[in-house]
Amino acid sequence: MRIAVFGAGAWGTALALAFSRGHDVVLWSRESDDVAAMRADGENRRYLPGIPLPANLQLTDSLQDAARADLHLIVTPLAGLRETARSLQAAAPGTPLLWACKGLEAGTAKLPHQIVAEELGADAACGVLTGPSFAAEVAQGLPAAVTIAARDIEFARYWVQALHNNRLRLYANDDLIGAEVGGAVKNIMAIAAGVADGMGFGLNARAALITRGLAEITRLGLALGGRRDTFMGLAGLGDLVLTCTGDLSRNRRVGLLLAEGKTLPDILATLGHVAEGVSTTREVAALSARLGVDMPITNAVDGVLRGTLLARDAVEQLLARDPKQE
């Protein structure tokens, strides 16, 4: 089976490595210089330094060539999903599609499946690959488990069976909305967890934040049509715990640097990678307000990122809220 991975960042490269152990894989980058560098170096030195690329992994900057595949897997930042899906629809219409992008589209607050439906049509064979997975660990062949969610459960089951291997375990789910909401909003909670950790508030505070963060994710997900059980699985709780506690989390790193008093532009320049939680926060805060969904942690993070609230004041504000029934 030929799999085309679109997006040669850390996660795209990691998935290309994982699937190249059992399939014919081509990794596409829009930047010809990046492709040339990977060919010359034998690794993706920019995003996954020190991890060799296998000889059977094909590299290209030609979308037309890469599109000739049995499966398209888009692993660009969310901002690139629409353009890439549109280009693939023109190049190879009808090819099954998975995406591994997380977040809400800036300016529209649309989830990835809504973007894909607009570009490929509502009946397109497609789904999301999501769950607790740091790119560096997957690239090294360390064990991980993720979800493929699609409206058509048979589509999800087929690709779970086709892509599953003994290092990347896959589970099928038909709650596409719930899986995407979990993957998007957990990044906001990771920023909050980073702030709390950076302020030295301790492990009890982190546990409380994760738990109440899960409540926020669930409330928004249910309001959008997701199922409660999804948020207790890999795409919900699993992804949330990893992102809020793991040192490889870019979004948690944003929170840690905010706690140090760094400005957001300086933080983003330092990271060198996209931290989807930054752009997602504003969209989720606005969306939850329109829907009347109570999301105090999200609103606090939004205030910090906008510069209207100091990181320490945001934490104190959350702690000072009136007691609630759980």
Domains and CATH numbers, the chain: 2-174 (3.40.50.720), 184-319 (1.10.1040.10)
CA dihedral 174, 175, 176, 178 (to 10 degrees): -160
At residue 325, the pLDDT reads 75
At residue 148, the pLDDT reads 98
Residue showing tokens 């105090």: 296
**Containing H/E element for 198?**
helix 176-198
Please determine, for residue 198, whether its predicted confidence score (pLDDT) is greater than 90.
Answer: yes
Please determine, for residue 223, whether its predicted confidence score (pLDDT) is greater than 80.
Answer: yes
| Cβ atoms < 10 Å from Cβ of 162 | 17
148 contacts 98 by C-beta, under 8 angstroms: yes
Residue showing tokens 């948690």: 252
Please determine, for residue 326, whether its predicted confidence score (pLDDT) is greater than 80.
Answer: no
Chain-centroid distance, C-alpha 120 = 21
Q: Which amino acid is at 209?
A: L
What percent of the chain has pLDDT above 70? 99
Q: How far apart are CA 3 and CA 68, in angstroms?
A: 9
For the entire predicted model, the pTM comes to 0.95
Please determine, for residue 150, whether its predicted confidence score (pLDDT) is greater than 90.
Answer: yes
Name the pLDDT band for 171 (thresholds 50, 70, 90): very high
Name the pLDDT band for 319 (thresholds 50, 70, 90): confident
Q: How far apart are CA 280 and CA 184, in angstroms?
A: 7
110 is catalytic: no
141-146 long-range Cβ contacts below 8 angstroms, 24+ apart: 141/17, 141/18, 141/167, 142/167, 143/167, 143/168, 143/169, 144/168, 144/169, 145/169, 145/170, 145/171, 145/234, 145/238, 146/170, 146/171, 146/234
Catalytic annotation, pick one of 110, 186, 262, 324: 186
Which DSSP category does 284 fall into? H
Q: What is the pLDDT of residues 2-51, one digit of tens each?
A: 999 999 999 999 999 999 999 999 999 999 999 999 999 999 999 999 99
At residue 164, the pLDDT reads 93
160 contacts 172 by C-beta, under 8 angstroms: yes
Decide which of 234 and 263 is more confident: 234
- Give me the mean pLDDT over the 104-118 stretch: 97
At residue 312, the pLDDT reads 85
Residue showing tokens 């989807």: 276
Which DSSP category does 238 fall into? I
305 contacts 281 by C-beta, under 8 angstroms: yes
Please determine, for residue 324, whether its predicted confidence score (pLDDT) is greater than 90.
Answer: no
Q: What is the pLDDT of residues 234-259, one digit of tens each?
A: 999 999 999 999 999 999 999 999 99
At residue 107, the pLDDT reads 94
90 contacts 55 by C-beta, under 8 angstroms: no
Please determine, for residue 275, whether its predicted confidence score (pLDDT) is greater than 90.
Answer: no
